[in-house]
Structure 1
């Protein structure tokens, strides 16, 4: 009877040596990649690009540039009919308006900012966003920097024949109100901002001005009413849109925050109700920053605490409370206003 030999063949030894070498190679590669990842994953701040050096978003066709000492992000739709400059509020930056992508890994896409941009693009506005040099906008050199950037960018992209409009929120609204005295805007929108008309005066030919504000902030509302009257006396067309508080719902959060699924949104609203952060009708009892909801998340072990959605949720809580937050809920009013003065 034939019996198979149990002695390993030369071919078997060769295969075993190859597999061992392959395993060592894979382990070494993993350790190297881990070190590289650890070295660069913490570099969240945007790289300083050389002037006119461009990186294009593969998904959204948006463009990141660095010019005249600051970063700007923009996108031009097909057959644009107007140009929109947007100024962020304090602690903001251009990256807040755009979704994260391979071309912009530091973009954060806050819910209200990104929706304003998406709405603008759908209405065929070319959108330009610029980061302030400090925490909030200043009104000296920075005003001339943004004016230069806007005019340079418009000329570079051959958009000179299009009407130009501007929107600013909070500090950005005050900045736009000052910049409008020097730029050829066809109209402007000041969001949760009264402007700086008392300090700068109102020049002849000042553009039509829409105030989008939240009357729960009564002090700012009174200042807006006073400035609206001053603008009218100078012959400037003015209008206001008042934004009121509204109840929170799981659908509102999950529909407006990419990455937040409805199951998690339901759990959030349940926790808010159990903790007394919202009343029986779903209205916020306090403003978002004054509500200790992040601590409650940690206490209950919500996985959200590990993700980058906390600031996105915070923005929507502020919006629901209706005191001082950027809002995209009135974009139809805003862009109808822009389009009314583009001819």
Structure 2
């Protein structure tokens, strides 16, 4: 009887000893799956203060947008030079963009738009004593061949005209502008470049050993682009080029966010818009966008609820911030500190 009981006890212990590793392995698999799903769905930030570092009061009163507008080689160029500049920044907009998006409308620039992210990038540049030059593409998007020589000529002419040729030259391009900058970097000697929400055209060109250090600022929710950037990071590293990436995650809207980030939009309207987005299900219970702002029928909803925008052009500003919060494909100033740190650490 004792032997039988002892044998049953051993069998039970053996079963338990087998079961525990199985349970442990199962738990590990579940954890890995949860991590993968979390990663694939795109990281989120519940912390408003942890993601939004800049607002309208982030810059000293001495930093103001004061552009000069010129026309050369069939296109617009807009620029601003701070006191004692230490570098020159060339900005390339995305499709449907223009140089005028980077500065507020003013008597000096009646066609300027001042989109929230673009203007904050310029303010960040000026605060760091970067002279800023933006050029408009000839068409809806940049032409990778026809406009290269035109823009190269404009930049070189302007730098000499402003007597800035002794300063480091850097570039930032977003979307179509990012592709354009990736190619332009083979024609001009940039100290470093930033390619935003674009992977560049590195599979279509010869990469010289002198190619500048390259920072990719992207939104991992765009899986196709993320995978290409991962491949190009490896490719450029293999060529001995200094590269890095900055990942931009989605964040929750708040009742005051639009008022904080868009000049001319008052807090009362911002609160109304947030409530409307909640009511229509455009955002979830935590304030995260359910879809890209371009895909949401929020403008008809404004008319339906009789929410009046005193400045109709501000709708584009609102949509840009919605796109940014969704974090799939949009110009972003939220990573300006990392971008300008990258530029400054690669100046020669």
Normalised by the shorter chain, which TM-score bucket?
0.7 to 0.9
User: Counterpart of 1:6?
Assistant: none
Task: Indicate the SS of the match to 2:325.
Answer: helix
Equivalent position of 2:50 in the other structure = none
Structure 2 counterpart of 1:123, from 108, 128, 142: 128
Which of 264, 268, 275 is residue 270 of structure 1 equivalent to? 275
The alpha carbon displacement at 1:284 in A equals: 0.4
* 1:230 Cα deviation from its structure 2 partner: 0.6
Q: Distance in 1 between matches of 2:162 and 2:291?
A: 45
Q: How far 1:302 moved relative to its partner?
A: 1.4
2:155 alignment counterpart: 150
- Deviant stretches of 4+, over 2 Å: none
Per-residue CA deviation, residues 121-164 of structure 1 (Å, 9 max, x unaligned), is 00000000000000000111200000000000000000010000
- Deviation, structure 1 residue 251: 2.3
Partner in structure 2 of residue 229 of structure 1: 234
Q: 3-state DSSP class of the match of 1:73?
A: strand
RMSD value, Cα: 1.0
2:337 match: 332
Q: 2:224 matched to which residue of 1? A: 219
How many equivalent residue pairs? 285
Give the alignment's TM-score, normalised by structure 2.
0.81
Q: How does 1:85-234 map to 2 (within 5 A)?
A: 85-234=90-239
CA distance in 1, matches of 2:225, 2:216: 11
Cα contact 2:65–2:123 (8 A) shared by 1: no
The equivalent residue for 1:29 is: none
Distance 1:314 1:62 in 2: 25
**CA apart distance, 1:280:** 0.3
Which residue in 2 is equivalent to 1:67? 72
Q: Which residue, out of 288, 294, 304, partners 2:299?
A: 294
Between the two structures, name the one with larger relative contact order (CA 8 Å, sep ≥ 6): 2
Counterpart CA distance in 1 for 2:125 and 2:133 is 11
- Residue number among 309, 316, 319 corresponding to 1:311 in the alignment: 316
Secondary structure, in 3 states, of the residue corresponding to 2:211?
coil
TM-score (norm: length of structure 1)? 0.82
Contact kept, 8 Å, 1:257 with 1:312, in 2: the verdict is yes
Contact map agreement 1:246 1:283 (CA 8 A) in 2: yes
Matched-pair contact (CA < 8 Å) for 2:272–2:307: no
